[in-house]
Amino acid sequence: MTMYVITHKHFYYQNLPNGYMPLLVGANKNANPDNFLTDNTGNNISAKNVSYCEETGLYWIIKNTNDKNIGISHYRRYFANFKNRKSMLLSILLKGKVKPISTEILDEILKNGYAWIVSQQEAGGPGTIWNQFALNHNIEDLKTTEKVISDLYPEYLSDFEQVIKNSETGSFYNMFYTSRQEAEAYSNWLFDILFEVEKQTNIADYDSYQKRLYGFLAERLMNVWLHHRKAKVKYLPVFDLSKMDREYAWKKIKGRMK
């Protein structure tokens, strides 16, 4: 049972619980002064990290590890053991900090019948997920993704329609915790789609942010996968280490009160 902490650079976080393991992605080019696990050994797609983001880590985990349960978090984003984001913000306001949820608690959630643990659903902007993508990225790439799903996995097309074109919230960040069996099934489906979308898109002229296209698509596609599978999902709030002070928590709480 391992929660892999995806990073592209040095980081030090003294409160990482047992079972949390840093994994350096894009390791072909990123320095590794901390001797982290790297995504460029064995069967890997590390060279694609610029455009696949956390997903080169997921690919490496699936192909090169044998953990019974698998999770992904980030060097600065972690799941917290709270009912919702509001209760987490109140804890920050009162105590000044929260800690990543332990793998023992995550395993217990799975034992209690949940298939997946993902981030609490939120809006990524105004309108539907489709509209949000159009505001921030090239909508033609999402249209290509829809076509690829139609060709490869037509049984998922209605889920794509419901989740991407009709929903305003989703679980983002490419973060989860689940069983190896579920993670492998999801990974096979996801990379079938992403590799084909990559063949049909051209990101050569995109800036460094937009070049992260396939990572952005993966964030949305996980919601399509979960919707189709009708999986029992546990939603947990996510905290960002860069936004952990009382001032930030109070600002967010006040905003919700208006």
Note the pLDDT tens digit of each residue in 89-143.
776 666 667 789 999 999 999 999 999 999 999 998 999 999 999 999 999 999 9
148, 224 contact by CB (below 8 A): no
- 2-257 — its CATH code? 3.90.550
Question: Quick one: average pLDDT of 58-67?
Answer: 98
Q: Judge whether residue 85 has pLDDT over 90.
A: no
Mean pLDDT estimate for the chain: 92
Given the DSSP bridges, would you call strands 116-119 and 176-179 parallel, antiparallel or unpaired? antiparallel
Q: Judge whether residue 61 has pLDDT over 80.
A: yes
Q: Which has more pLDDT, 178 or 11?
A: 178
**pLDDT digits over 135-190, tens only?**
999 999 999 999 999 999 999 999 999 999 999 999 999 999 999 999 999 999 99
Look at residue 24 and give its three-state secondary structure. strand
What single-letter amino acid sits at 133? F
Residue 142 host element (H or E): helix 139-152
What pLDDT, on a 0 to 100 scale, did the predictor assign at position 131?
A: 98
192, 124 contact by CB (below 8 A): no
What pLDDT, on a 0 to 100 scale, did the predictor assign at position 90?
A: 74
What pLDDT, on a 0 to 100 scale, did the predictor assign at position 151?
A: 99
Cα 83 to Cα 106: distance, rounded to the nearest angstrom:
13
Contacts of 76 (CB under 8 A, 6+ apart): 11, 240, 241, 242
Domain boundaries, the chain: 2-257
Percent of the chain with pLDDT over 90: 80
